[in-house]
Amino acid sequence: ANFSEQVVENFPSDISTGIYYGWARVGNGDVHKMVLSIGWNPFYKNVKKSVETHIIHSFKDDFYGEILSIVIIGYIRSEKTFSSLEALILAIQEDIEEAKRQLDLPEHLKLKEDNFFHLPEGKTVNH
């Protein structure tokens, strides 16, 4: 799930580029583990900074246009380029496994239940 350019421009400027892990919620659905990439994706030579969320869950339907709420918990690694698409895919798989391990820790698991994800009915907040 990619955030719009407007959202990316409003991210705090002091967040380093790289790969992060945390929690994500689509609309008012369940909270799931996620891996987040912030940067220029050097393998694809992007010219604009992007923020891409990989939610570690299989959804039945597309969720274009839904509000995506995220909580960034920790940092996995810096951005880098790869010699092949296969190497990139392997790194992404390793990032996902690291995120799963970290998010299963009690201090990270409790943040899944944070009030941030549980707004009172009828209230919406854009983050």
The CATH number of residue 12's host domain is: 2.40.30.30
Report the alpha-carbon distance of residue 89 to residue 43 in Å, rounded. 11
In a domain, 91, yes or no: yes
Q: What is the pLDDT of residues 21-74, one digit of tens each?
A: 999 999 888 999 999 999 887 777 777 888 999 999 988 877 777 888 999 999
Please give the average per-residue pLDDT across 98-125, as a whole number: 83
In a domain, 126, yes or no: no
Q: What is the pLDDT of residues 64-94, one digit of tens each?
A: 778 889 999 999 999 988 999 999 999 999 9
In a domain, 59, yes or no: yes
- Active-site entry in 52, 66, 79, 98: 52
In a domain, 13, yes or no: yes
**Is residue 52 annotated as part of the catalytic site, yes or no?**
yes
In a domain, 125, yes or no: no
pTM value surpassing 0.95 = no
Q: Return left, alpha or beta for 30; rule: phi > 0 is left, psi -120 to 50 is alpha, else beta.
A: beta
Q: How many helices (H) and strands (E) does the chain have?
A: 3, 4
Please give the average per-residue pLDDT across 105-117, as a whole number: 91
- Total domains in the chain come to 1
Report the alpha-carbon distance of residue 103 to residue 96 in Å, rounded. 10
| Per-residue exposure over 25-39, b if at least 16 CB sit within 10 Å of its own CB, e if not | bbeeeebbbbbbbbb
Q: Containing domain of residue 17, as a range?
A: 5-117
Is the predicted pLDDT of residue 5 greater than 50, yes or no? yes
